[in-house]
Every structure is written in structure tokens, then in C-alpha cells.
Amino acid sequence: MAQKVFFSVSMSLDGYIAPESPEDLMGRQWMELQRWVFRQRHFRENLKLGSGGEEGRENDILRETSERTGASVMGKRMFDAGEHAWPEEAPFHVPVFVVTHERRDPWERPGGTTFHFVNDGIETALDQARAAAGERDVRIAGGGATILQHLNAGLIDEFSIALAPVLFGAGIRLFEGIDAGRIALEQVRTDPAPTVTHLTYAVRER
């Protein structure tokens, strides 16, 4: 199969994927949004939190997402929020390309994650991620602005949303500023689950 560029996120019912302030990333609403993830065995194994966790279709979705990802791209805001929050063995286990204006040497972490800092835009970062991923796919890890840039540039092949029964009321909207006139979606799969509904779409040029 041809290599794909994709993203997968949890989203509130009113369209938000994160609180506005990075200081609220571990707050009540965000924890409710991600609750389905925290329950899964694969999540616990990936962060080395010990045994236990749920198994089933949602656990399979997390595991399949990890297995298909050969490299990731993220924005500086997401990296800044995670740099001190991720454990020493960061949970990516693949090369990660950070789109930033900051000049910095690669930052290697235990467990296979190395952060590379790219100073000349998303397309250069994506080219480097494609090369690093080999035959596997490239995941646009976030945050919202970085995902939107890739969507509007026509660089996303597919995406999945875990739609959660949570209301934010304010925060970072996934599709705020989308160039809807050039993007068409084709529904690929729907996976209803007890806590969220998983929606997968192929992205086409309109």
C-alpha cells in the first residue's frame, strides 16, 4: 500500500480538540475528552504504566494507529506542552519532526523517539518525515494549527476523529479556518464504541 499522511484526534461534540491555554491541557475537560484513551491496555503499555487496561475495538484502534506510524510531524506549541509532561521515554517511538523557528539540535529520547527541529515549514518537515517513515505512514500529531495547515495545503490523505460526548464551549477548534471550498471528504469507516464514536474519512480535492 502507498504511504499515507494522516491524523487522528479526540474531539468534543462541539468541535474542540484542546483547551485554549496549554496550562489547561491536564484539566477536567481535557481529561474527559481523552478518557477513552486512558482506559486502554495499549495506552498503559505504551507509557509503561503497568498491566491492566481494557481490550477490544478501541484498544485495537490505538494499537493499529501506533503500528502504522513510521514518523510524526508536530507544531512547536504541541512540543512545548509535551516536552516537560511526557515521560523520559516519550510515547512516540519513531522520529518526530517539529515545525518551529527555533534552531536546536536533534533531541534523542530512550525508546526510539528522536525530535528533529525543522525551520523552513511544513512541507520540508513532511518530506523528512516521509523519508524517515519508510513504508509506514506519517502521522500529523498536532496541534490544531499544524493539522489545519496540512489540510489546507492538500497534504492529508486520511483522518480519524474520536467524537466524545463532551462539551468544551471554547478552546481550539479542529476546523477553524478550513478551506472548505477545496476539500471533500469520503467516509471510510464508523466504529461506534461505548464512550466515543470513531469516524474515519478519506480526503479528496473538491
Give 32-72 pLDDT, tens digit per residue: 999 999 899 998 888 877 788 889 999 999 999 999 999 99
What pLDDT, on the 0 to 100 scale, is given for residue 21? 79
Return the pLDDT at 28.
82
According to DSSP, residue 117 is labeled E
- Say how many C-beta atoms besides its own lie within 10 A of residue 110's C-beta: 10
Q: Is residue 14 part of a domain?
A: yes
Query: Does residue 74 lie within any of the structural domains?
Result: yes
DSSP 23-64: GGTTSHHHHHHTHHHHTBHHHHHHTT--S--B-SHHHHHHHH
| 130: containing domain | 5-24+67-205
| Number of domains composing the chain | 1
- pLDDT given for residue 1 in this prediction: 65
- pLDDT on residue 23: 73
**Residue 27 confidence (pLDDT):** 74
Q: Which residue intervals of 106-165 are DSSP H helices?
A: 122-133, 144-152
Q: What is the mean pLDDT of each run of 10 residues along the chain (206 residues)?
A: 92 93 76 91 84 89 96 94 87 96 94 96 97 97 95 97 94 94 95 92 93
Asked if residue 34 belongs to a domain, the reply is no
Determine contact, residues 36/170, Cβ cutoff 8 Å: no
What percent of the chain lies above the pLDDT cut of 70? 99
Q: What CATH number does the domain containing 109 carry?
A: 3.40.430.10
- Residue 30 belongs to some domain of the structure: no
Quick check: is 33 in a domain? no
Q: Write phi, then psi, for 33 (nearest 5 degrees).
A: -60, -40
Residue-level pLDDT at 82: 87
In a domain, 43, yes or no: no
Write the pLDDT tens digit of every residue in 104-122: 999 999 999 999 999 999 9
